[in-house]
């Protein structure tokens, strides 16, 4: 099971046009895809337009692939006095960002809306009211967050009548901080759905110059009994899924044959506690204490 992420959609031959994307997503569904991850900033809204155009061509696809929308990150505006990338979780921004996403997608509702990143200037009450309004207006079914710390998540949840049911965070064999900073534990306790972004470390897993990636590939290769990149990728996805929070990988690849091979390897790879820790050790370059 995986979510497909649309951040790189415009880059791929199989994903860069509405016609090609319909075929690609149909094959993703057959391979076990259960949703599409979006954000208003991906390709400055053009990923959403592309998904909307693909769904307009195939209602069946739209029915089978729930949408996860995100907002709260804003790129620097060159004309500003002090341009800077920044985060905005205030009500006015989240409201207008969601309306923009719905318009570009050509839909009246998305399944899930996530606050993309925590805004250090966020007022929990104000953000909570904006999120509740989205649900009450029928624009969103479910709410969640992405990249929040446990305390930020608890602060927002404390101000919200509706439950936050989803945490999207970075988690992979090469990015393991969520194991120790409490986010995965908190998700288990709260019963949150966890989705893992950049589950192949954004392609870094395949880097020839990255020492940690080389150690992890060697360890995964021992286990998977192969060194082909997709077998290793599938084993890396199985390593994520082995955590009791049940993180679902958000695959960002744009090549369906690769994704199919990776999903087959994911299903075929079983980690014992010892082999799971061996991969963690390879990632960190040292054994656990």
Ligand X SMILES: NC(=O)c1ccc[n+]([C@@H]2O[C@H](COP(=O)([O-])OP(=O)(O)OC[C@H]3O[C@@H](n4cnc5c(N)ncnc54)[C@H](OP(=O)(O)O)[C@@H]3O)[C@@H](O)[C@H]2O)c1
**Which residues bind to ligand X, rule: CB under 6 A?**
5-8, 12, 37, 146-147, 168, 197-203, 206, 229-230, 233, 250-255, 258
Closest contact distance (angstroms) between CB of 24 and ligand X is 11
CB of 250 to ligand X, least distance (A): 4
Residue nearest ligand X, CB atom distance: 252
Q: How far is the CB of 202 from ligand X (least distance, A)?
A: 3
For ligand X, which is the closer residue by CB, 84 or 161? 84
CA distances from 139 to 21, 37, 88, 151, 168 (A): 25, 16, 20, 27, 20
The smaller minimum CB distance to ligand X, of residues 14 and 157, is found at 14
Looking at the Cβ atoms of 86 and 129, the one nearer to ligand X is: 86
Question: First and final CA of the chain: distance in angstroms?
Answer: 33
Least separation in angstroms between residue 30's CB and ligand X is 17
Task: Tell me the residue length of the chain.
Answer: 289
Nearer to ligand X, 6 or 283 (CB): 6
Residues 231, 236, 39: CA angle, nearest 5 degrees: 110
Please say which residue, 136 or 218, places its beta carbon nearer to ligand X: 218
Smallest distance, ligand X to C-beta of residue 218, A = 16
| Least distance (Å) between residue 199 CB and ligand X | 5
Residues near 44 by Cβ (< 8 Å), separated by ≥ 6?
75
In the complex with ligand X, the residue whose CB is nearer, 61 or 129, is 61
């Amino acid at each position: 099971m995986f979510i497909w992420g649309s951040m790189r959609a415009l880059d791929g031959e199989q994903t860069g046009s509405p016609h090609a994307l319909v075929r690609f997503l149909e094959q993703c569904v057959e391979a076990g895809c259960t949703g599409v991850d979006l954000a208003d900033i991906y390709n400055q809204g053009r990923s959403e337009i592309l998904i909307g155009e693909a769904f307009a061509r195939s209602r069946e696809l739209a029915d089978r692939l729930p949408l996860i929308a995100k907002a709260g990150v804003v790129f620097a505006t060159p004309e500003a006095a002090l341009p800077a990338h920044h985060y905005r979780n205030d009500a006015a921004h989240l409201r207008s960002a969601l309306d923009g996403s719905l318009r570009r997608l050509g839909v009246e509702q998305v399944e899930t809306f996530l606050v993309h990143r925590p805004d250090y200037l966020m007022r929990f009450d104000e953000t909570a009211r904006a999120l509740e309004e989205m649900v009450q207006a029928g624009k969103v079914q479910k709410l969640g967050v992405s990249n929040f710390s446990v305390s930020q998540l608890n602060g927002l949840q404390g101000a919200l009548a509706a439950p936050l049911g989803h945490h999207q965070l970075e988690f992979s064999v090469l990015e393991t901080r969520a194991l120790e900073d409490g986010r995965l534990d908190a998700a288990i306790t709260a019963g949150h759905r966890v989705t893992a972004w950049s589950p192949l470390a954004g392609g870094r897993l395949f880097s020839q110059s990255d020492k940690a990636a080389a150690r992890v590939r060697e360890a995964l290769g021992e286990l998977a009994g192969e060194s082909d990149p997709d077998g290793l990728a599938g084993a890396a996805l199985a390593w994520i899924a082995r955590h009791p929070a049940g993180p679902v990988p958000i695959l960002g690849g744009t090549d369906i044959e690769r994704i199919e091979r990776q999903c087959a390897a994911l299903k075929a790879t079983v980690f014992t506690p010892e082999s799971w820790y061996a991969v963690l050790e390879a990632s960190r370059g040292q054994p656990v204490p």
